[in-house]
Amino acid sequence: MAELETTTPGGYLLVLAILLPLAGIMLSFIPGGRAAERVALCSTPFGFALACAVAFLVARTRKPIVYTIGGLPPPLGIALRADGISAVMLIAAAVIVSAAALYARAKFATPESVRESRSSLTFWIMLQAIWAALTIIFVGGDLFNLYVALELLTFAAVPLVCIDGRPETLAAALRYLLFALFGSISYLLGVALFYGANGTLDIPLLAQRVQATPVVWTAAALMTAGLLAKTALFPVHLWLPPAHANAPAAASAVLSGLVVKGSFFLTLRLWFYVLPALPTDKVATILGWLGSAAVIAGSILALRQARLKLLIAYSTVAQIGYLFLIFPLAAGSQAWSGTGWSAGLMQVLAHAFAKAAMFFSAGLLAEALGHDQIARLGGAARALPLTFLTITLGALSLMGLPPSGGFSAKWMMLQASIASGHWLWTLPILAGSLLAAGYVYRILVPAFSDGQVSLELQPKRIQEAIAFALTTIAIALGFAPQAFFDFLEIGRPMPSALP
Amino acid sequence: MSLLPYLDIGLAVLIVAVAIWTIAAPDLFAAVVGYVAYGLLLAFVWIRLYAPDVALTEAAVGGGVTGVVLITAGKRLGALKNIAPEVQPGLPFKILTGVLAALVASAVCGAILMLPEPPPSLAPEAAAAASGAGAGLGNPITAVLMSYRSFDTMLEKIVLILAVIGVWSVSTDKAWGGAPPPFRQPKPYAPMVFLAQLLAPVGILIGIHIFWTGANAPGGAFQGGALLAAMWMITMMARLLEPPRVDAQWLRLALVAGPAVFLITGLTGEFVAGSFFAYPPSLAKPIILFIEAFMLLSIAAALPMLVAGPPSERPDQ
Amino acid sequence: MITLLNCFSIAAISAGAFFFFTGTVGLLRFPDPLTRLHALTKADNLGLGLVALGLMPRAESTLSAFKLIVIWLLVLLSSASTAQLIGRALRRGRK
Amino acid sequence: MTPSVLAGLVGAVLVGLGLYGLILHPHPLRKLLAFNLIGSGVFLIFGIVARRGAGAGLRFDPVPQAMVITGIVVAFAASALAVALILRLSAETSRVTLDPDARKSRNGEDAK
């Protein structure tokens, strides 16, 4: 029997990072009303500090930090682990959730006339629940524990979609729920088979025990299918555009920027952490093709939308496609796979920040103009200069123009695909950028043209500033130093290093 | 020689047949009723798999409470006159779906038949650890739920709270703060009232008994809580009690009690036992029962609220 | 003594099974819901009572034997009430 | 054939049946029923994994059985949330469909 794992110094930070939002949910729910907003706003700085502390520890020790819950090591107990990518995602989640909380104060403050309102209470509790679920997903080390976290994420995200109660939002939420439930149950079936084949669900232990048997392949296929449905990878993307486009802007930003990344993160964990010892080339190629199809189809659909929020939602479908190019480009331990890995993670981060900023801006725009029809945006840029600056900068990152996080991501993807000799992968990357330029052009040209718009409402400066700050982060990611990419490698299993 | 294998095969055939009925029944309500029968049949399978704890849960929740939710929904949807006629998918699509489903089913069948021998298991570890973290717990499942995987159990209770808030959140703004609609039509019916008055005290007693024995025998907070929940629902169906308002302070405290006590004891574990969610071995059993008592309360509050649905716009009587 | 108790168990459980069987035949063969309800509640309750009676000597302890009686009484209570409810629903449906 | 293998095969068949219904039925409540069938099939597969893992004086491996109990609770919560959405949607639109193009709200509110 292998040596049992123990808690590393600072491991308790991981438990605290999870328990903070969970306690927040309960503290918000009991008194209800305005307390929910206060609790949510107060806990975000602490969560951000915890995420930074985790990142600091990981960077200092150059090793993942581990906590065995209850002092009971796997396989019987559950372990939490934070490696480089966990730490980075924790920080990203804390920043975007904080931004969404500050942005949402305008819309989801409890009205003066009532003690408690439905939409406010739901929003503040579900926002914290999404944060809690993502935290567990980023640091969880046990596949069944991660299943419960996935369900937590679903139960938090669905009510946000239909929070304003319009029939089309209810239909979108229901469709989202059914896809998500299918995704989790398929994932759970894979978990059952993994346990039946290997007698553990702990990720590193599984990685040591898995063999390329039909049972393991079936389990991996079922889990992947479930996770893809939750990530909305083409062709199971149908639920995403109506759900993300109909939710209120603050919720859309979190859903598009973070929630879909949760299930993507688990797909990474599965193929790069549980199954690195298996010959996964074919699977990586299939995922890469699906991703490429998503890039093309999502972009073309985005080109055809009449509403700004729907266009941004379809752009999410396309940008998710890019994420899946990480599978062929970072597989194995070749010279280029480090570049592919950095590229994929950079794409996750750049898209999270840019997309959140764009949804924030689209929400401001819709409130200011009273509509979000692209054809009627004439002259809007002059009326809302800061909002359009944000959209333009965010779009820069989506298209992959320098300097931006999106550019770094796509540039490194191109490098990796040329270095690997599979230059075919450059085609979807380049085509996606061209098509993205097309749909961005569709927004910006009418907006910057001459025209008169009457503003129904002047957007709040603070909301514009929050959106702009996020888009700045997306741009700043383009200047990330090599040390940042080295940090992302911490804790990543290398196939050759395994027995 | 034994009859059991034939009974097993008969049960399997019956279950598959009822499952086919729930998928293929022409009528929505008939399908729902089929599903409830199916849930009860499943409980037998769990008994045959030596899983009485799961059988209890499946009968109470999978068959019982889920059945109530689905039947209520089926009835209300059946009563709506203006539901659009269902668009039936074309034959090629049906065949394609059938092939896909058959492929998945046979892949899973194959995987089950190819599971390794000897089967990997954590039973030896769980049995060996019974003297430590799960000290004094004769029921290994309770030990797993409350000790080794207590983190999952706490999260699952949070999922229940979120589900309650999620269900409430699909109400209208005007109805917020009100109570869910009553469980039944206006006039309480005498036999129903009689049943509730007689059954509720007995049921509460049995629920607490199941919770208490759960430390050593099949049962536990979840199964006991489900029974308490059923008793509350029966009294609400008899209109002896009405569903509480969603902003009632006691209701929210009851809903949160289980996970909150779990979280607080988990935090104190760091100071008294050296790790979050650890228990000092000498006190493990009383602490676990203490947490479970609050979880019992939360489950008994959450399940009826999930069945009752969102607050309604009708003013409270 | 043990043989005698075993014979008693076998006899009671077989009789119980017979009543379950007749109840099911009634459920399938009777013409309308009210008569079917009659077959189900009467015959099945008797059948369950006999099965419980037959199992009692085989129970591990007095407490378990007592539990068997409680189970039977609870089923009696619930089936009596549900029969009332179904009957009322039928009468309402006819009007 | 042992009862556990039989139960596992039933579980696999249930997964297939549920998947068929989930994809094919247009009515969301029927989809929900189908989802529950898949769920119970998956739980049965956990059940046989637990049964196979019998050992050390236990007739089953308690870990997968505990997971099933957690899973049943979560599946119930999901059904309750879905039913609440379906009922509200049907009350709101008088049409129960997931087709986004077929949405016709009574108040005719323009989508923002």
Q: Is residue A51 part of a domain?
A: no
Q: Give the dihedral of Cα atoms D36, D39, D44, D46; nearest 10 deg.
A: -160
Burial class (CB in 10 A: 0-12, 13-18, 19+), A422: middle
Q: Which H helix or E strand runs over A448?
A: helix A426-448
> In the A/D pair of chains, how many CB contacts fall below 8 A?
101
* CA–CA min distance B313, chain C (Å): 27
> Which sequence spans correspond to the domains of chain D?
3-96
| Cα–Cα nearest to B165, from A397, A7, A130 | A130
Distance CA D103, CA D105 (A): 6
pLDDT average, residue stretch D52-77:
88
Per the structure block, which two tokens stand in for D88? Answer: 């509200």
> Which sequence spans correspond to the domains of chain C?
2-94
Q: What is the tally of structural domains in chain B?
A: 2
Residues of D in contact with A158 (CB under 8 A): 81, 85
Stronger pLDDT, A498 or A441, i.e. the higher one:
A441
**Same domain assignment for residues B152 and B280:** yes
- For A116-130, write each residue's pLDDT tens digit: 889 999 999 999 999
Q: Give the dihedral of Cα atoms A106, A110, A114, A115; nearest 10 deg.
A: -160
Burial class (CB in 10 A: 0-12, 13-18, 19+), C52: buried
Q: Is 1.10.287.3510 the CATH classification of the domain at D3-96?
A: yes
Q: Is residue B316 part of a domain?
A: no
Q: Is the CA virtual torsion A138, B288, B280, B148 positive or negative?
A: negative
**Does A8 score more than 70 pLDDT?**
yes
Q: What is the mean pLDDT of chain A?
A: 91
Specify whether the CB–CB gap between B110 and A218 falls below 8 A: yes
Of D39, D67, D93, the CB nearest to A144: D67
Per the structure block, which two tokens stand in for A88? Answer: 């980075």
DSSP string over B123-175:
HHHHHHHTTTTTTT-S-HHHHIIIIITHHHHHHHHHHHHHHHHHHHHTS-TTT
Q: Is residue B112 part of a domain?
A: no
pLDDT confidence bin for B81, thresholds 50/70/90: very low
Subunits with at least 3 CB pairs below 8 A relative to chain B?
A: A, C, D
Task: Flag the least confident range among A16-30, A380-394, D33-47.
Answer: A380-394
Q: What is the mean pLDDT of chain D?
A: 82
Residues of D in contact with A170 (CB under 8 A): 85, 88-89, 92-93
Q: Is residue A410 part of a domain?
A: yes
Cis bond upstream, residue A403 (ω within 30): yes
Distance CA A96, CA A467 (A): 10
Give the range of the structural domain holding residue B37, as residue numbers without chain letter.
Answer: 1-80
- Is 0.90 surpassed by the pTM of this model? yes
Specify whether the CB–CB gap between D20 and B97 falls below 8 A: yes
Contact check, Cβ <8 Å, B199/C78: yes
ipTM of predicted assembly, 2 dp? 0.93
Q: Tell me if residue B2 falls in helix, strand or coil.
A: coil
Q: Is residue B7 part of a domain?
A: yes
pLDDT average, residue stretch C11-27:
91
**Same domain assignment for residues B60 and B154:** no
Residues of D in contact with B148 (CB under 8 A): 63
pLDDT confidence bin for A454, thresholds 50/70/90: confident
**Does D95 score more than 60 pLDDT?**
no
- For A301-331, write each residue's pLDDT tens digit: 999 999 999 999 999 999 999 999 999 998 8
- For A178-225, write each residue's pLDDT tens digit: 999 999 999 999 999 999 999 999 999 999 999 889 999 999 999 999
Q: Is residue B103 part of a domain?
A: no
Distance CA A219, CA A108 (A): 42
Residues of D in contact with A159 (CB under 8 A): 81
| Strand partners of residue D58 | D55
